[in-house]
């Protein structure tokens, strides 16, 4: 039997409030095919702005359709990071822990990485100062483009409908 | 067996179907797939369509027989690695070597054994040395089909009326493989010729009995012959149980139905896998590289030409196409090296497979159908595909496991975007430390040990919950750390303590699972060689969505100490290293301290009562740590997962001095201060990039291992070099 869950259950799931026994049941069952649309509605109801969410992109980030029909990465606080086909990190703030002392602020000395080998890059929202991503890479490594979704293929070939063009909800 | 043996007397020379050789069957199946994109070119599944319940029953019965074989046969083994931790699995294959169904266990080998069977067919083993009913084959060669030499495979053909209708395969992780350093994850080898015993698809038995020359050869080649022998009997017994189960099924269902079933079940699984990809994920491109260190520059026990610090580069990218195909690409991986961490495409395919079984297809039919829906690019000449067969592979897992951490992080992003937040996981922690070594044990015997407590490192956090504490590991998701008493039976070391490792879990709104540590004391051995194996200079498993990596590692030992006197005085003795600085031990015991970040080394002598700390790493976090619920942090502190000091620094949570409850006002102030500190110390990324380009990249301000890493990747991969130059707007002539 193909399951389907009500919005209250999925909201509790997203917020980590669902009892483990129910979560376990959801994980063991076949997946509910209407999940994406229901979760979109839940995400949309949690943000204060009107732009239509096309894809949840991270814990605080969304790809949205703006009033002027741009598709951009946007923080829950409203901060925009530009076209989703460009790496949103380029429009963020960054704090790089590139010295031993800076890394050891977060890890005991013997459990920290060697700053000669690796640095921590913290990508921060300019609007709300939320920490959005942390990279652990050697000095000089290009900034990672973690995820480049193919929105057209997803909507049109997998969901079987046009990518929304409406400006807002 | 009698019936089959009688048939064999008049059997045709070829063992394949319809008068073909097995080699021809393999060629035909590959040609049909290449032409149609479907397994065996099947466009319909008539057996399944006519009676889907029967189809499922056949699958369930076969799968049950595989699990039964594993759970029964492992009782033959005496090795805790096999018996307690379950480092074995069994699989049923088609005549061409594609997996039909499998048991639980170390699933990575379901596909590596497939490669081994296909190797035998491509090399016409049917003609010489022959593939007959009752024959037994053994393989452990990564260049044929394996991850590292200590994973030993037994393969048995399954005959029915003169034809091969399948193969039974079983694998166990043995305790020692006779490498130039003891243990089953040997770090000492620098070439194949130091890797120990190689059994490259060897016919090792006939008429269901092992050849005596094979038995004797192996007993004399490894340091743990008793364990070896019982492991081999474990594998063989399981394979014979599978063979009997298949033949019983054929008697009931008929051979024609069985043949049709093993064709359809592969195509059915391939289709199912594609559908699951489309149902669960998001098409696109994902990037999640990984790195791990080996600090060998001062390792006097290695050959001079191999003494250098190494930084592994795994430039992992995952592409999910509109048609539902998954492609994993390691373009940019550095050159293979004179160390035992090299991998082969077979190992990487096995790892991809085991990652998929835990993520996309855990509750569907699991077999090689998924393999037909995935692609894997392993650049020739790199550490994932050496262009020579002389490379060492004793501890291939050391590179392989972090490199596939990117798979979990990437799929986690896809699951989140698709709404299946319960499936998000930021991977695992690093699967170290491995306490490993050898010498004369407490029973007075020559021995080798590879402690497998690293089967229970901290799990990665998810969206809806923290990572599991001291839980499992990527390569065996049903991992078990093993009983202390079982390890003490096989290792000349007592446990003085086993406890949660404070601050090992990666910080996050959902924190990573905690690691743990064990304080071990050499016991009833005059001298024993031991080594440490784990990350030390880097964080090898990053988090996602603002979560931090689990901690890196270190090594601690206290040698030539006065514990004997401490015991005589009945004074307190150390049970761990609570503050990760050695003090818990050195405050109580005097001795020679080893405390540094060179967390992978080569075996060094230890003596009676020397102390050795084995620290299993924690998992990565998910989300901004400042968003973690303060009372959850208070619980972490109470359970010693996080220290009170780190709770303030990382989570901004201040606890009351007495009682340990959250000081609400101080916490609010501390979080505000940390957020302001973030803003004060952060700069716009574009400004940082412009400066970093000049002062770091153009100036080539890299440490030696980092510079070597870039040099190697850029030399081996013009494509990766071009991407690197393009990112930093560097001239075409730029070299590190």
Span B118-139, pLDDT tens digits: 999 999 999 999 999 999 999 9
On whether both B592 and B720 belong to a single domain, the answer is no
Q: What is the pLDDT of residue B479?
A: 73
What's the structural domain count of chain B?
Answer: 4
> In a mutagenesis test of the B interface, which of A34, A82, A147 is the best target, namely the one with the most B β-carbons within 10 Å?
A147
Cis peptide before B129 (omega within 30 of 0): yes
Q: Return the residue of A nearest to B624 by Cα.
A: A131
On whether both B562 and B653 belong to a single domain, the answer is no
On whether both B621 and B638 belong to a single domain, the answer is no
On whether both B635 and B710 belong to a single domain, the answer is no
Question: Are B679 and A124 inside 8 Å of each other by CB?
Answer: yes
Q: What is the pLDDT of residue B87?
A: 87
The per-residue pLDDT for range B346-369, each reduced to its tens digit, is: 999 989 988 988 898 876 778 888
Q: What is the pLDDT of residue B2?
A: 42
Q: Is residue B317 part of a domain?
A: no
Q: Residue B496: pLDDT above 90? A: yes
Interface ipTM: 0.98
Last residue of a domain, one of B224, B249, B271: B271
Q: Is residue A118 part of a domain?
A: yes
Q: Is residue A145 part of a domain?
A: no
Q: Is residue A55 part of a domain?
A: no
Q: What is the pLDDT of residue B16?
A: 96
3-state secondary structure labels for all residues of B598-623:
CCCCCCEEEECCCEEEEEECCCCCEC
What's the structural domain count of chain A?
Answer: 2
Q: What is the pLDDT of residue A166?
A: 66
Q: Is residue A116 part of a domain?
A: yes
CA distance A119 to A127: 24
On whether both B639 and B554 belong to a single domain, the answer is no
CA angle B422, A23, B410 (to 5 degrees): 10
On whether both B676 and B689 belong to a single domain, the answer is no
Q: Is residue A73 part of a domain?
A: no
Specify the 3-state DSSP secondary structure of A93: strand
Range of the domain at B648: 629-681
Residue A130 pairs with which residues in a beta bridge? none
Q: What is the pLDDT of residue B74?
A: 93
Specify the 3-state DSSP secondary structure of B448: strand
Q: What is the pLDDT of residue B367?
A: 86
List strand residue ranges (DSSP E) for B94-220, in order: 99-102, 136-139, 151-160, 163-173, 202-206, 209-210
Q: What is the pLDDT of residue B154?
A: 98
Question: Are A138 and B291 inside 8 Å of each other by CB?
Answer: yes
Question: Are B624 and A60 inside 8 Å of each other by CB?
Answer: yes
CA distance B189 to B437: 14
Q: How far is B661 from chain A (nearest CA, A)?
A: 22
| Packing angle of the helix pair A20-28, A7-14 (nearest 10 deg) | 110
The per-residue pLDDT for range B366-385, each reduced to its tens digit, is: 888 888 899 999 999 999 99
Q: Is residue B441 part of a domain?
A: yes
CA distance B43 to B39: 9
On whether both B591 and B475 belong to a single domain, the answer is yes
Percent of chain A with pLDDT over 70: 98
Q: Is residue B455 part of a domain?
A: yes
On whether both B464 and B530 belong to a single domain, the answer is yes
CA distance B539 to A132: 19
CA distance B522 to B608: 5
Give the Cβ contact number of residue B700 at 10 Å: 12
* pLDDT category of residue B4 using cuts at 50, 70 and 90: very low
On whether both B559 and B675 belong to a single domain, the answer is no
The per-residue pLDDT for range B415-466, each reduced to its tens digit, is: 999 999 999 999 999 999 999 999 999 999 999 999 999 999 999 999 999 9
Q: Is residue B180 part of a domain?
A: yes
Percent of chain B with pLDDT over 70: 98
B632 touches chain A (CB under 8 A): no
For residues B619-630, average pLDDT: 98
Residues of A in contact with B696 (CB under 8 A): 139-140
Question: Are B705 and A117 inside 8 Å of each other by CB?
Answer: yes
Range of the domain at A15: 1-46
The per-residue pLDDT for range B8-28, each reduced to its tens digit, is: 444 447 899 999 999 999 999
Question: Are A96 and B289 inside 8 Å of each other by CB?
Answer: no
B243 versus B359: the higher-pLDDT residue is B243
The answer for B58, left when phi > 0, alpha when psi is -120 to 50, beta otherwise, is alpha
Q: Is residue B672 part of a domain?
A: yes
Q: Is residue B555 part of a domain?
A: yes
Q: How far is A112 from chain B (nearest CA, A)?
A: 6
Picking from B288, B350, B299, the residue whose alpha carbon sits closest to that of residue B533 is: B299
Q: Is residue A149 part of a domain?
A: no
Tokens of A95: 């704090």
Specify the 3-state DSSP secondary structure of B689: helix
């Amino acid at each position: 039997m193909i399951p389907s869950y009500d919005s209250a259950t999925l909201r509790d799931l997203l917020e980590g409030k669902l009892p483990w026994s129910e979560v376990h049941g959801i994980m063991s069952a076949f997946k509910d095919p209407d999940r994406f649309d229901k979760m979109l509605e839940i995400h949309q109801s949690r943000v204060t702005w009107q732009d239509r969410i096309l894809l949840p992109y991270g814990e605080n980030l969304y790809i949205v359709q703006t009033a002027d029909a741009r598709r951009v990465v946007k923080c829950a606080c409203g901060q925009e990071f530009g076209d989703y086909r460009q790496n949103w990190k380029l429009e963020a703030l960054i704090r790089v822990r590139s010295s031993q002392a800076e890394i050891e602020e977060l890890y005991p000395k013997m459990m920290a990485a060697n700053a000669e080998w690796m640095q921590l890059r913290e990508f921060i929202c300019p609007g709300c100062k939320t920490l959005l991503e942390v990279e652990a890479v050697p000095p000089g490594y290009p900034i990672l483009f973690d995820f480049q979704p193919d929105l057209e293929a997803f909507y049109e070939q997998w969901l079987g409908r046009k990518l929304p063009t409406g400006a807002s909800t | 067996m009698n019936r089959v043996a009688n048939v064999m007397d008049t059997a045709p020379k070829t063992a394949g179907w319809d008068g073909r050789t097995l080699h021809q069957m393999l060629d035909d199946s590959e040609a049909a797939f290449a032409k149609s994109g479907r397994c065996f070119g099947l466009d319909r599944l008539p057996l399944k369509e006519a009676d889907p319940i029967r189809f499922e029953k056949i699958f369930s019965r076969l799968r049950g027989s595989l699990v039964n074989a594993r759970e029964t046969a492992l009782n033959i083994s005496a090795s805790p690695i096999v018996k307690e931790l379950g480092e074995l699995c069994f699989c049923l294959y088609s005549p061409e070597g594609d997996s039909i169904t499998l048991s639980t266990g170390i699933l990575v080998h379901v596909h590596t054994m497939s490669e081994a069977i296909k190797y035998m067919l491509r090399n016409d083993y049917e003609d010489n040395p022959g593939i007959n009913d009752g024959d037994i084959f053994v393989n452990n060669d990564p260049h044929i089909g394996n991850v590292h030499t200590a994973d030993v495979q037994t393969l048995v053909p399954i005959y029915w009326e003169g034809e091969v209708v399948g193969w039974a395969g079983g694998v166990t992780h043995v305790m020692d493989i006779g490498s130039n350093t003891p243990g089953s994850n040997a770090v000492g080898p620098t070439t194949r010729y130091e890797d120990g015993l190689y059994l490259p698809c060897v016919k090792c038995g006939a008429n269901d009995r092992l050849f005596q020359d094979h038995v004797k050869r192996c007993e004399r080649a490894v340091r743990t012959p008793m364990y070896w022998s019982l492991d081999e009997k474990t594998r063989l017994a399981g394979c014979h149980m599978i063979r009997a189960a298949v033949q019983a099924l054929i008697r009931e269902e008929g051979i024609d139905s069985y043949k049709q079933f093993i064709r359809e079940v592969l195509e059915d699984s391939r289709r199912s896998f594609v559908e699951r990809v489309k149902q669960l994920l998001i098409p696109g491109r994902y990037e999640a590289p990984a790195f791990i260190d080996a600090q060998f520059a001062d390792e006097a026990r290695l050959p001079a030409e191999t003494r250098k610090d190494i930084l592994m580069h795994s430039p992992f990218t995952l592409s999910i196409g509109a048609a539902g195909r998954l492609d994993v690409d390691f373009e940019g991986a550095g050159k293979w090296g004179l160390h035992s961490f090299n991998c082969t495409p077979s190992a990487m395919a096995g790892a991809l497979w085991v990652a998929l079984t835990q993520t996309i297809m855990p509750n569907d039919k699991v077999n090689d159908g998924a393999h037909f829906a995935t692609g894997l690019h392993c650049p020739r000449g790199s550490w994932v595909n050496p262009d020579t067969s002389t490379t060492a592979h004793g501890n291939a897992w050391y590179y392989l496991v972090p490199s596939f951490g990117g798979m979990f992080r990437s799929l986690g992003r896809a699951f989140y975007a698709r709404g299946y937040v319960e499936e998000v996981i930021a991977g695992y922690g690093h699967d170290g430390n491995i306490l490993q070594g050898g010498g004369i044990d407490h029973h007075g015997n020559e021995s080798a040990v590879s402690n497998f407590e690293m089967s229970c490192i901290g799990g990665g956090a998810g969206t809806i919950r923290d990572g599991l504490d001291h839980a499992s590991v990527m390569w065996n998701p049903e991992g078990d750390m093993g009983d202390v008493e079982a390890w003490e039976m096989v290792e000349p070391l007592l446990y003085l303590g086993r406890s949660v490792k404070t601050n090992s879990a990666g910080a996050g709104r959902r924190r990573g699972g905690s690691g743990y540590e064990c304080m071990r004391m050499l016991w009833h051995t005059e001298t024993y060689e031991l080594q440490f194996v784990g990350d030390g200079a880097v964080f090898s498993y990053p988090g996602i969505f603002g979560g931090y990596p689990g901690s890196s590692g270190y090594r601690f030992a206290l040698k030539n100490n006065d514990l004997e006197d401490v015991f005589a005085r009945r004074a307190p003795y150390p049970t761990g290293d609570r503050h990760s600085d050695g003090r818990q031990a050195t405050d109580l015991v005097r001795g020679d301290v080893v405390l540094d970040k060179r967390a992978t080394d080569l075996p060094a002598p230890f003596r009676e009562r020397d102390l050795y700390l084995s620290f299993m790493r924690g998992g990565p976090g998910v989300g901004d740590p400042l968003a973690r619920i303060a009372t959850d942090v208070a619980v972490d502190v109470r359970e010693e997962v996080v220290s009170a000091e780190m709770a303030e620094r990382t989570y901004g949570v201040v606890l009351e001095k007495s009682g340990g409850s959250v000081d609400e006002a101080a916490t609010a102030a501390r979080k505000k201060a940390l957020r302001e500190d973030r803003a004060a110390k952060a700069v716009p990324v574009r400004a940082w990039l412009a400066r970093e380009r000049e002062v770091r990249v153009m100036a080539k301000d890299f440490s030696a291992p980092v510079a070597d890493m870039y040099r190697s990747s850029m030399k081996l991969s013009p494509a990766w070099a071009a991407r690197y130059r393009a990112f930093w707007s560097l001239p075409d002539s730029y070299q590190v």
